[in-house]
Structure 1
Amino acid sequence: MMIETTSPTASAAIQSLFCQLPAPALLLDRRGAIVTVNLAFAELLQLYPEQIVGHAATEYLRFGESGRGDHSVAGSVARLRRATDRGSQEFKVSSLPGTSYRLVLACSPETQTYASRREGELQHLFYSISHNLKSPVVSIQGFADLLMETDPDTPLREVRHYLERIQHNALHMNKIIHDILEFSKFSRRAQRFETVDLDEIVTTVQSENLFRLKEKNVRFVRPEALPQIQGDYEGLLTVYANLIDNALKYIGETSEPEIEIGYRDNGRFYTFWVRDNGVGVAEEDCERVFNLFERAGASKQVEGTGVGLAIVKQIVERHGGLVTFRSKPGLGSVVYFTIPK
């Protein structure tokens, strides 16, 4: 059964993140019925997921010390009703902001750190999708209501204004959904590692942005040669596409705009960067720019959804690397990322 949210695309993204949880996990609706389980939970019970979904959680779990606890209380503890070859597994109940769902996640020393991070991502994803889709939906509804209330003598320019606002918000919703799909795709797709020519990748992205670079009179600086590395071609192409797109968006009204592509060989790994001399952001906002839908400082004045850097972080980390962001208002920004050799 698919997790239901405000859009099928959002549901797919959340389902993908949920399935990646390494610890046994299940999702409950407000009645305590099981909406979905991951493979780890199904394997724990030695059942198929379809044999579990739709049943009451209390058939498999005892909530509270007495077994009569409330499944809807965040922070409460549950245990399996019958022992398995892994012993008596303990579960913790968490709420998912913006929904009536409850996430029930197994607790174990081996998986707790990773699972907690994934749980946080899942909660943030639920909240972010609800929050970011709500605004254009409310706006569309508002302008549609105004159109319904207009009389036949309403000037055409006023009607056209309402329709333009509806169209603008519909396009924004479509962009959000597209970016959620991209985020979901790179979280669930199998990476295909091969020898990747980064010169070819940067040349491709540069060519695709040639008009924008000329339009903004941007000096595009790159080394004579970038290394060939082992990585996922599509993922690394997306990293450079998103970083260069980001730099172009926030180059601002700089008198001599410049985007620099660079790298450094550190022995066991490479450090790459994309630098611009655009508007920049405040230092306290630098850590938040990789959060899904996060748009800090002056970036809020630029068209976008705030998903691009979250995708970059996801791809780099799946390559075993790290990504950092440095910026100063008025001086520009630089994104560094590492890739092991």
Structure 2
Amino acid sequence: MNVWTLLHFSAFVIYFVLMIYIIAKNPGAVINWLLGMVFICLWFWSGSNALLFNSYITQEKADIILKIQTIGWASFPTFYVIFLLYFMKKEIILKNVFVLTFFFAMPFIFEAAAFSDKMMVCCDRTFFGLTGIWNNSPFVYLFIVYSFVMFAVSLGMLVVFRNRQKNINMKKSADIILATTIMAFAITLIVSFILKWLRIHVPLEANLVFLIFVTGIIYAAGKYDFFEINAEQAADRILESVDEGLILTDTHGVVMQANSMAKQMLGFEYKVEKDDISEIIQDDKISAMILSGEKFAGMELYRGSGESEKKLTLSSAPVDKNGERLGYLCVIDDVTEKRAAERGLEKTMKELERSNVDLERFAYVVSHDLKEPLRMVSNYMQLLKRKSYDRLESEDREYIDFAVDGALRMNELIKDLLDYSRVNTRGGKFEPVDLNDAVEHILNIMKFKIEDVKGQILIPQTLPSVMGDGMQIEQVLQNLIENGLKFRSKLNTPVIEITAQENVSSVILRIKDNGIGIEQRFQERIFEIFKRLHSREEYEGTGIGLAICKRIMERHGGRIWVESEGDEKGSIFAAEFKK
């Protein structure tokens, strides 16, 4: 037995011991078994090399050992990659039947090729024993490409996993696995592929090189416990993973355990079974409440001063088991940023409210002040038209018509703008409104307009009542019915159907027409003030009606929307009133 035989036999024993050790550590953990399978591959590989690296081995026996050895090195990439995927928690990939079939089919292909003398053939005799020679076949090239791709892709995923990982222990474990694997893979590529291909044989086989990888795995596993999780470790990890500070005391208030967030928030380093909760909290009232067993939440604590002051909230509850009091659990939240954000939001809301009031006041004042001079201009223009119209040239008459029409439209626009600005400031009180009475009142007002266009208004059901401002609800109804009549199709006479759907929390009023419809891309735009989809020559109006409806529904805590397929397919306007 030469020194190289002894080295490989030692590696054979080490891999076997490590396999037993890791699986025995936590037999219920899948990742332990996967790592154990990686070690079995290396164990098988090392054992066969221990037999080959012997000057007394015959070529016939070496040929059989080489073929059996394939089981180890052909299966190694598969189990290594599956181990890495499980470590990175790539459950979607691991549950994919096609991926798993591929992973386990490839080793069988290479093993079958080896037993057909299409992978390694026997043998070159060296000073340390017999060693195999790569055959010049497609299967060898396929194995090289397969191994390279498997390692490259899995290590690339490991780098991405490492960069996205927030858990410091997992990140450090990934660093160690990455470094040791790259080192082992690089040496293996040179020794077992390139040099062996050139028939330059060295006794440093890949299974020995991978002791570097194994050393890294065992070190990471021992230091960061990434493959072994027992109940106590799981509890510790849960404590450390939460964003809140957690402190557990006994029945006398002595701190038994605390996570790092609690230490960071409160600025203390506790000593197990020595420090008292009252010393840490530094608030006699809260400490007394904790020790009384009273369950409470949201008690305020402050740490620091000035700009660095932190605002904390503390909640506490007793911990009992089988009727016996074991201690108390305290949960601490850092609400400094949350409270600052709330104050900022409150300030913004007040500024916005003040801005809206100023805007409404401005709109009212402007439109109100414009009404009088506009009425004067309109009256004088109409007076001029009555007295001088017949004496004017045709071009001058056209100018007069334009001016009168413009004044009338401006008057209508100011009226609508006043209505819009008064929705919140001049609204009435909320009370039960019978929609049947409201619809009947509006239809009486619009009776002649409906008859002019030969329209039909259908109400196939008794409508419910809603809570709201009766005048404003009628305004919404009138606007929606007028729109149904105005935007009628040229293909048929207008038919409007009014229905309602009553739910547990709301009443949805629907007004359906058979008009020209509204394309989906315009269905939000139509509720914006002054937004029109058609010219005034096609359809009269100011473009404020639906904006007023939306504002009224918002005042009622509801909403309004439209459903339509466009292209002469009609529209359904829906107004939801909350109960």
Q: Report the TM-score, using the length of structure 2 for normalisation.
A: 0.34
Residue 112 (structure 1) aligned with residue 336 (structure 2):
no
Q: Shift of the alpha carbon at 1:270?
A: 0.5
Q: Flag structure 2 segments of 5+ consecutive residues without an equivalent.
A: 1-342, 382-390
Q: What is the match of residue 413 of structure 2?
A: 176
Partner-residue secondary structure (3-state), 2:524 = helix
Change (3 A) 1:291 1:117: farther
- Of 391, 394, 404, 1:167 maps to 404
Change (3 A) 1:261 1:122: farther
**Superposition pairs for residues 45-64 of structure 1, below 5 Å?**
none
Q: Shift of the alpha carbon at 1:256?
A: 3.9
Q: Shift of the alpha carbon at 1:113?
A: 6.2
Q: Does the aligned pair in 2 maintain the 1:273–1:336 contact within 8 Å?
A: yes
- Of 318, 325, 329, 2:567 maps to 329
Which amino acid in 2 is paired with 1:217? K
Q: Does the aligned pair in 2 maintain the 1:198–1:229 contact within 8 Å?
A: yes
Rounded Cα–Cα distance in structure 1 between residues aligned with 2:508 and 2:529: 24
Q: Deviations over 1:275-325 (max 9, x none)?
A: 111112221011011111111257872100011111111111111111111
Q: Deviations over 1:59-81 (max 9, x none)?
A: xxxxxxxxxxxxxxxxxxxxxxx
**Superposition pairs for residues 232-243 of structure 1, below 5 Å?**
232-243=469-480
Higher relative contact order (CA 8 A, sep 6+): 1
Structure holding more strand per residue = 1
Tell me the matched-pair count: 216
Q: What is the match of residue 506 of structure 2?
A: 269
Residue 340 (structure 1) aligned with residue 578 (structure 2):
yes
Rounded Cα–Cα distance in structure 2 between residues aligned with 1:190 and 1:157: 47
Q: Shift of the alpha carbon at 1:191?
A: 3.2
Rounded Cα–Cα distance in structure 1 between residues aligned with 2:493 and 2:350: 44
Q: Does the aligned pair in 2 maintain the 1:282–1:297 contact within 8 Å?
A: no
After superposing the two structures, state which structure 1 stretch, 213-222 or 230-239, moved more: 213-222
Residue 208 (structure 1) aligned with residue 457 (structure 2):
no
Which amino acid in 2 is paired with 1:242? N
Which amino acid in 2 is paired with 1:169? G
Q: Does the aligned pair in 2 maintain the 1:254–1:278 contact within 8 Å?
A: no
Instruction: Please list every run of at least 4 consecutive aligned residues from structure 1 whose deviation after the TM superposition is greater than 2 angstroms.
Output: 110-127, 154-158, 297-301
Structure 1 or 2, whichever has the larger Rg, is: 2
- Of 512, 529, 532, 1:292 maps to 529
Residue 252 (structure 1) aligned with residue 495 (structure 2):
no
**Superposition pairs for residues 1-341 of structure 1, below 5 Å?**
108-112=344-348, 156-297=393-534, 301-327=538-564, 328-341=566-579
Rounded Cα–Cα distance in structure 2 between residues aligned with 1:156 and 1:171: 23
Which amino acid in 1 is paired with 2:495? E
Partner-residue secondary structure (3-state), 1:278 = coil
Rounded Cα–Cα distance in structure 2 between residues aligned with 1:162 and 1:217: 35
Which amino acid in 2 is paired with 1:316? M
Percentage of pairs with the same residue: 32
Structure holding more helix per residue = 2
Q: Does the aligned pair in 1 maintain the 2:529–2:544 contact within 8 Å?
A: yes
Partner-residue secondary structure (3-state), 2:523 = helix
Change (3 A) 1:169 1:190: closer
Which amino acid in 1 is paired with 2:578? P
After superposing the two structures, state which structure 1 stretch, 272-281 or 108-117, moved more: 108-117
Which amino acid in 1 is paired with 2:344? S
Rounded Cα–Cα distance in structure 2 between residues aligned with 1:284 and 1:126: 32
Partner-residue secondary structure (3-state), 2:415 = helix
Q: Shift of the alpha carbon at 1:241?
A: 1.0
Rounded Cα–Cα distance in structure 1 between residues aligned with 2:534 and 2:549: 20
Q: Deviations over 1:201-249 (max 9, x none)?
A: 1011111112222221222111331112221111111110111111111
Change (3 A) 1:265 1:124: same
Q: Does the aligned pair in 1 maintain the 2:412–2:542 contact within 8 Å?
A: yes
Change (3 A) 1:337 1:278: same
Change (3 A) 1:120 1:270: same
Q: Flag structure 1 segments of 5+ consecutive residues without an equivalent.
A: 1-106, 145-153
Partner-residue secondary structure (3-state), 1:234 = helix
After superposing the two structures, state which structure 1 stretch, 254-263 or 159-168, moved more: 254-263
Rounded Cα–Cα distance in structure 2 between residues aligned with 1:230 and 1:116: 27
Q: Does the aligned pair in 2 maintain the 1:258–1:277 contact within 8 Å?
A: yes
Q: Shift of the alpha carbon at 1:197?
A: 1.3
Q: Deviations over 1:105-125 (max 9, x none)?
A: xx9222536866996998999
Rounded Cα–Cα distance in structure 2 between residues aligned with 1:114 and 1:335: 33
Q: Does the aligned pair in 2 maintain the 1:313–1:323 contact within 8 Å?
A: yes
Q: Deviations over 1:86-138 (max 9, x none)?
A: xxxxxxxxxxxxxxxxxxxxx922253686699699899999x99xx9xxx9x
Rounded Cα–Cα distance in structure 2 between residues aligned with 1:111 and 1:299: 42
Q: Does the aligned pair in 1 maintain the 2:484–2:494 contact within 8 Å?
A: no
Rounded Cα–Cα distance in structure 1 between residues aligned with 2:560 and 2:537: 22
Q: What's the Cα RMSD here? A: 3.3
Which amino acid in 1 is paired with 2:399? Y
Q: Shift of the alpha carbon at 1:330?
A: 1.1
Change (3 A) 1:339 1:217: same
Q: Report the TM-score, using the length of structure 1 for normalisation.
A: 0.56
Partner-residue secondary structure (3-state), 1:281 = coil
Q: Does the aligned pair in 2 maintain the 1:285–1:297 contact within 8 Å?
A: no
Rounded Cα–Cα distance in structure 2 between residues aligned with 1:192 and 1:120: 20
Partner-residue secondary structure (3-state), 2:490 = coil
Q: Shift of the alpha carbon at 1:199?
A: 0.6
After superposing the two structures, state which structure 1 stretch, 189-198 or 228-237, moved more: 189-198
Change (3 A) 1:195 1:126: closer
Which amino acid in 2 is paired with 1:292? I
